Amino acid sequence: MKKSMMEPIRYLSREEMERIHQSALRILQSTGIWVDHEKALEYLREAGCKVDMDRRIAEFPPDVVEKAVA
């Protein structure tokens, strides 16, 4: 298969992508996500997330997210 030598089309600037990324980090830290799996919540707590087992919410500190996507 022949590889294309063209640059990918970018719809967002680097600055726009960074703003979206920073917004996602804020939401993951302040709001968190609902996780309906007790063992997964335990793993997330061990990884450094703030976990509310009663509400089943995991809040992700930015450093945990950055490490996971690196």
The predicted-structure confidence for 2-48, as pLDDT tens digits, reads as follows 666 788 888 999 999 999 999 999 999 999 999 999 999 999 999 99
Q: How far apart are CA 13 and CA 19, in angstroms?
A: 10
Pairs from 18-24 (Cβ < 8 Å, separation ≥ 24):
24/65
Q: Which amino acid is it at 69?
A: V
Confidence (pLDDT) at 6: 81
